Structure 1
Amino acid sequence: MTAELPHHAQTVSRGGSHALLRLAVHADALRLSPARYLRGLWWRLCGKRLRARLTIAPLLGKSPRAYRLWLAQEADMGTAQTRNEIAAPPVVALVRSGAGEEATLASLAAEGIEAHLVPSRPDSTLQTVLREAQGAWVLPIYGGDLLARGAGAALRTALADAADSTHLIYADDDLLDDKGRRCDPHFKPDWNAELSRHFDYLAGTALVRLADADLTVPLADDWPADLARRTATRTASQGAPPLHLREVLYHRRTRPKPQRPAPLALSAEEHGRLPSVSVIVPTRNRADLLRTCLDGLATTDYPGDTEIIVIDNGSDEPETLRFLAGLAPDFARVLRDDGPFNFAALNNRAVAEASGELLCFLNNDIEITDPHWLTVMAHQAMRAEVGAVGAQLLYPDGRIQHAGVVVGIGGGAAHAHRLLRPEEVGYFHRHALPQFTSAVTAACMVLRKSSFLAVGGFDADHFAVSFNDVDLCLRLNARGWQSLYEPRARLVHHESVSRGFDRDSVGAERAAREVSFLRDRWGLREPRPEDDWRSWPADPFHHPALSPVSEQFMVRI
């Protein structure tokens, strides 16, 4: 392998050679493709630690042996923490009868949890057990599933620490293969009510505190899932979201599968309530890109009123100037701003001129391929609990460019599931499911103008070019307006084509300042290999056991 490295690799120190050898052994053991791995090794030799990890981490996470390596690392670190027996509310497990139920009962007994075997379909036996369990916490679990070693102590500790308002506690899980080996871990997000509508990640892994309604209202056939779903819905509406334990406490035989959403269908009344939208398009030169973007807006089927504001940042190409001058005033209004490029300031200025109830920030390098995209995003943006709504953006080759933003990746923020193809499974189909996220990109973002103004708009002083959208979303989130990713609005993004990338020294210095501001304001830092994943300040919709240097939700190795 080392013979294929660039010639400069021959100058590496003895310590660097040892590091290369260790990495090469990992590559061989994990069956990684060599070309990209060698590129990561080269960055490591050049002292570019973060770039090396960004290159290698996705390869490690995709290996079929990645989870086994993660488990081995956990064992080496002595992760089986000793928990003292403490006073905690009683727990009663209700085991849904099925293949493997004997092993489930033995597992519960080993963890000190009282268990009752209940028929697979809800009947009088289940209702009797539920009545007898009033005042206790109930663990609905499926026959064949097992508790992890130490799970009983972990659950009791969580119960002892839980607030009185907590009524549901769930944990991470993995699967057992035909040989009883652990595989396919699900490192879950903290409570995500929008995601849970399309992906039941609570069933069989949740402790619930019963309510009176659970004793009187008939349960569905899949009663473990029904109990968890009811409790989550009831308590979240009361301002007490389910509590997430970031530990793999359940080993499962099967788990519910994500359900890709059907196309959004609005009633005539809902269509009539959609508000006016101001679409803001910053641009500079590249008339070809702007023409494609505006042609897409012209064919967009939106039932409400729309206005288009093109804010021109110093275009000087004759073709672009002719194109802008030829735009019909009743189709698009052009504002001129010849100042230095400042994406945040340009959009703030346009907002001051906007009359719409909703704002749509749209890059000039967006290609619109679905006439209903704005209807979908506007409908979501009008929900009281929602702040900024982001679309699924694809590169021209069809791979994902944006499926929400994860805060903390690489010490800043990064687009989730980038470079994945939409038809791939990815990480539990998360790229294909509507869900709350920490942020979305302003390349295509819709939100209420009143919310934008309430938080002061984009921070043009600290985030002229990068991370202004992330910072805006985090400030909206802090006010209770959560960012939402909506994959049913899909567009093509010719990323940064008109502005280019920051490869010059001035651009690099500016980018470094903006990363520093983001870290300081939101408590972020660059990940280090020696970090214990439990102490990593992960994005609540990501997970600290997932790699902090991979955009594709890979196991942290």
Structure 2
Amino acid sequence: MNQQAKRIKELFGYARTLTKEQGIGTMCVRAAGFFKRRFFGKRARYWPSNMALEAQRSDPAAETFPIISILTPLYNTPQNFLTEFLDSVENQTAHNWQLCLADASDDAHTYVGELVQKHVAANPRIRYVKIENKGIAANTNAAARLAQGEYLALADHDDILAPHAIYCMGKELQKTGADFAYSDEALFRKSPKTAHVAHFKPDYAPEYLMACNYICHLAVFRKSLFDAIGGERPECDGAQDHDLFLRLIDAMQAKDANAAPLHIPQVLYYWRVHAASTSGGTEAKPYVVKAAQKAVADHLAATGRSGRVEEGIFPGTCHVQWELPEPEPLVSILIPNKDHVDDLEKCLFSLYSKTLYEAFEVIVIENNSTDPATKAYYEKLPDRYANCRVVAYSGGFNFSRINNFGRKFANGKFLLLLNNDIEIISGNWLTQMVAEASQPGVAACGAMLYYPDDTIQHAGIITGLGGYAGHSHKYHKRGGSGYMFRLATVQDYSACTAACLLVRTSAYDAVGGLDEAFTVAFNDVDFCLRLREKGWRIVWTPYAELYHHESKSRGSDEEDPAKKARFAKEQARLYEVHGKQNILHDPYYNPNLSLDYEDFRESGDLRNLKNVTL
């Protein structure tokens, strides 16, 4: 018997037993729940409730929202796609929109203009112009010349706007006065109500945006800002929106260094997946890759930074090889150690034999070792490894205090906090980390850490996971792209593990080092959050790869009552210092993703999408 037949037999057996024990009514209720979950559980899961949509339609405040002009170039659009797109705009719950259509269709597709003209005749908010096809950027600019709204939005001719897109955008723009806002999006094949996946994005993440255009749809921005930078650039066709977003942000930050796009965590746009669309991947349009690299390179030039833009780990992503400062800044590597000389030797041997970056010193912080062999090992270290010395810490175990003690002996412009059970994999790991941590506004850089079985131990820390903090993509197999390329691109994170953390010495000192009240747990989370409170950013790079020989299943803290109590105390302190709500709402993690798992799966509770508040 195959597995499916066996499963069906088991289900009918369960139904008979349930009917016999609890009655036909209970069985029917359970059966209805099963079929709803099995066949309809994902249907319209991002779509607002009818009650929410009706409330928006009757909201008088919507009459005061700013006008948003939607820019849509048309080119030989399939009639059914165009009809669905036009209907999605005209059926918006708010009327503060204008639709600007620039039609570059050829003579074989005259139905496009004919269909649009019927809608124009019935709806004065739709404006239309027939143009010569000069490419997506030029055609978008032609649509922009029709616009009369305070804000502009970009929408493709084969996609669909969520029914509350203009309402939600208008409301937030009115409330915040933002110059630029973007939402989440979902991908569909036949109907938006059967969308198969959503792109739940972080708040503004500058490193991530240089690596790939995660903003995409729906993006809305001031017309005056669009006009000031000259609109979209034809030379970046294929990545014209990515280029536009970078230039919009550059213009915003030229006036206010802290300016950033506003993220609205609602699915306001449905991106159709078909053969000619980039929603299915950049393989559909190979020129997108080169255009994106140009967009990022021009962004670097405009902001006065020096780097070479290369293709990233996966197609459709970019990687900036930053120019290192000259001379190379000294890195002081702090390695706490108590006995375990085998681990320490593996760490040091890989460090010295594989690391291509030369300007480093190593400070082993001796922490109350008891094995006589450890002392003998220490005595030989300076002769075996250049610029390596041992300093002796005394006192009870306190990870924060040990590292703060080691810092007193460090001479480097950067400090590298490194566990003694780390093993180097890639020779350019430290080069990559120093390059990232040297960038303006960046205080610290974390690395990709693998367990020895080539599953991920650390790829950045997300606060709120498990109620406190967890590691991005933990246990994910090595070599994957992760959620929306987040395993394969340089990322902004709220924190990174101190098992391998490079930090500017000046930033370390400015916040007083690690908080010694966090003796074991959360000291790195607290440290990074305090850096961020000072205005610094924390980045993580997949281009620095190391093994972390930490056990996958230690469990000792939960089994030992004293350790369990200490851990609970440090959990409480994390909330006390940073606020529970701040911990539970990580700006680099979407609120529609689960806090119970580390794999970026969707939350089981998407009520915020169903019940859109007024």
TM-score (ref. length: structure 1): 0.81
Shift of 1:421: 1.2
Instruction: Choose 136-145 or 197-206, whichever is displaced more.
Output: 197-206
The verdict on how the C-alpha distance between 1:161 and 1:275 changes in structure 2, with shifts beyond 3 A counting, is same
Larger radius of gyration: 2
Q: Which residue of 2 aligns with 1:12?
A: none
Shift of 1:233: 3.5
Equivalent residue for 1:545, pick from 571, 578, 592 = 592
Q: Which residue of 1 aligns with 2:116?
A: none
1:14-29 to 2 correspondences below 5 Å: none
Equivalent residue for 1:96, pick from 64, 70, 73 = 73
Q: Which residue of 2 aligns with 1:485?
A: 540
- The answer to whether the Cα contact below 8 Å between 1:345 and 1:458 also exists between their aligned partners in 2 is yes
CA distance in 2, matches of 1:536, 1:387: 20
Q: Which residue of 2 aligns with 1:244?
A: 263
SS in structure 2 of the partner of residue 96 of structure 1 = strand
Shift of 1:320: 2.4
CA distance in 2, matches of 1:306, 1:86: 62
CA distance in 1, matches of 2:202, 2:232: 30
- The answer to whether the Cα contact below 8 Å between 1:277 and 1:304 also exists between their aligned partners in 2 is no
Equivalent residue for 2:397, pick from 341, 354, 359 = 341
**Residue type of the alignment partner of 1:282:** P
SS in structure 1 of the partner of residue 251 of structure 2 = helix
Instruction: Choose 369-378 or 174-183, whichever is displaced more.
Output: 174-183
Q: Which residue of 1 aligns with 2:343?
A: 289
Shift of 1:427: 1.3
Q: Which residue of 1 aligns with 2:276?
A: none
Q: Which residue of 1 aligns with 2:174?
A: 160
CA distance in 2, matches of 1:419, 1:30: 28
CA distance in 1, matches of 2:164, 2:431: 49
- The answer to whether the Cα contact below 8 Å between 1:171 and 1:249 also exists between their aligned partners in 2 is yes
1:416-495 to 2 correspondences below 5 Å: 416-460=472-516, 462-495=517-550
CA distance in 2, matches of 1:499, 1:159: 49
CA distance in 2, matches of 1:340, 1:26: 56
Deviation per residue, 1:411-459 (Å, 9 max, x gap): 2111111011132343122122111100000000001100000011100
Greater fraction of residues in helix: 2
CA distance in 1, matches of 2:396, 2:206: 42
CA distance in 1, matches of 2:424, 2:515: 28
The verdict on how the C-alpha distance between 1:142 and 1:224 changes in structure 2, with shifts beyond 3 A counting, is farther
Gaps of 5+ in 1: 4-21, 32-63, 526-534
Q: Which residue of 1 aligns with 2:86?
A: 105
1:132-531 to 2 correspondences below 5 Å: 132-133=146-147, 136-163=150-177, 166-178=178-190, 180=192, 181-210=194-223, 211=225, 212-215=227-230, 218-219=233-234, 220-222=236-238, 223-237=240-254, 238=256, 239-254=258-273, 255=279, 257=281, 260=313, 265=321, 270=324, 272-328=326-382, 330-460=386-516, 462-495=517-550, 501-502=556-557, 503-524=559-580
CA distance in 1, matches of 2:395, 2:69: 67
Shift of 1:265: 4.2
SS in structure 2 of the partner of residue 155 of structure 1 = helix
Shift of 1:132: 4.2
**Residue type of the alignment partner of 2:100:** H
- The answer to whether the Cα contact below 8 Å between 1:394 and 1:402 also exists between their aligned partners in 2 is yes
TM-score (ref. length: structure 2): 0.73
Gaps of 5+ in 2: 1-6, 11-28, 105-132, 274-278, 283-311, 605-614
**Residue type of the alignment partner of 1:443:** A
- The answer to whether the Cα contact below 8 Å between 1:86 and 1:156 also exists between their aligned partners in 2 is no
- The answer to whether the Cα contact below 8 Å between 1:422 and 1:431 also exists between their aligned partners in 2 is no
SS in structure 2 of the partner of residue 272 of structure 1 = coil
The verdict on how the C-alpha distance between 1:69 and 1:389 changes in structure 2, with shifts beyond 3 A counting, is same
Equivalent residue for 1:115, pick from 64, 85, 99 = 99
Q: What is the number of residues matched between the two proteins?
A: 493
CA distance in 1, matches of 2:571, 2:442: 26
**Residue type of the alignment partner of 1:104:** F
SS in structure 1 of the partner of residue 377 of structure 2 = helix
The verdict on how the C-alpha distance between 1:356 and 1:470 changes in structure 2, with shifts beyond 3 A counting, is same
Of all paired residues, the percent bearing the same amino acid is: 32
**Residue type of the alignment partner of 1:155:** M
The verdict on how the C-alpha distance between 1:423 and 1:103 changes in structure 2, with shifts beyond 3 A counting, is same
CA distance in 2, matches of 1:104, 1:243: 25
CA distance in 2, matches of 1:245, 1:452: 33
SS in structure 1 of the partner of residue 580 of structure 2 = coil
CA distance in 2, matches of 1:338, 1:94: 67
Deviation per residue, 1:355-377 (Å, 9 max, x gap): 11100000001011112111110
Q: Which residue of 1 aligns with 2:64?
A: 87
- The answer to whether the Cα contact below 8 Å between 1:439 and 1:483 also exists between their aligned partners in 2 is yes
- The answer to whether the Cα contact below 8 Å between 1:548 and 1:556 also exists between their aligned partners in 2 is yes
CA distance in 2, matches of 1:457, 1:77: 52
CA distance in 2, matches of 1:298, 1:26: 60
Structure with bigger RCO (C-alpha 8 Å, 6+ apart): 1
Aligned-pair Cα RMSD in Å: 3.3
Shift of 1:336: 1.5
SS in structure 1 of the partner of residue 326 of structure 2 = helix
CA distance in 2, matches of 1:225, 1:498: 42
The verdict on how the C-alpha distance between 1:76 and 1:218 changes in structure 2, with shifts beyond 3 A counting, is closer
The verdict on how the C-alpha distance between 1:263 and 1:189 changes in structure 2, with shifts beyond 3 A counting, is closer
